[in-house]
Each structure stands twice: as C-alpha cells, then as structure tokens.
Amino acid sequence: MYAVNVGNLKKNPYLALRQARQEPVLILKDNKPDALLLHLNKSITNTEKSLLPALAAMLYREGTLSLGGAAKLSSLAMIDFIQHLDSLGIEIVTADETVEHETRDVSVWLKS
C-alpha cells in the first residue's frame, strides 16, 4: 500500500491519484494514518483486498485489535502484516509502565 503525508499530497496530488489506480493510498498526518484515498474505477473485490490491511493497521494502532486479530482481519500472514505495520511506522512493541521494572528484573537475572 502506498502512503503519502499531507505535505507531499499538497505538492503533488496527481502522484497519489495515479497510485490510487493501483491500490488504496493511505494519507498520513503527523506520520499517523489519517485518511484513505480510493479510486472509483477499481472493483470492490480489489478494493477490499487492499483496504483490509489498512483497516487492520488502524484498529491495531488504536488498540482495538490485538496483533493476531489485526493480522487475521488483514488477510495477511503475520510476518507480512508486521512488515505492513513497519512500512506505516506503527510500532509493534510499545513501552508501558512495567518496562522499567521488567528491565531491572532481567538485569538482575542476567548477572546471576
């Protein structure tokens, strides 16, 4: 899936329109998925195949779906979905309040 940020879309909208003839174009705002550009001449089946990974990525990023659930929705193999997320700049592993404590525990365990 082709992705373009709003600034580049403003500079050259025709590139995004040409890309949309092949597959949906993900429009990024502040490096986060914000909108999707679809070409109206594409078949519904082709659009659905391209749209599902984008929808799954957005639902994963928002925390609505787990990684496994989002990969299943996308109809991609897990490794392909992870690569799709990476291409969109969506992190797979995010730090939370337990990371610091777990890091200390692992450090102590490794020293022993």
Task: Supply the range of the domain harboring residue 101.
Answer: 2-111
pLDDT above 70 coverage of the chain, percent? 94
Number of domains, the chain: 1
- What is the pTM for the complete model shown? 0.54
pLDDT of residue 44: 67
Burial classification of residue 109, based on how many CB atoms lie within 10 Å of its CB (0-12 exposed, 13-18 middle, 19 or more buried): exposed
| Tens digits of residue pLDDT in 24-62 | 888 888 877 788 888 877 666 666 777 888 889 988 988
User: In the predicted model, what is the mean pLDDT of residues 78-98?
Assistant: 87
**Axis crossing angle, helix 78-87 with helix 44-61, rounded to the nearest 10:** 80
pLDDT attached to residue 1: 67
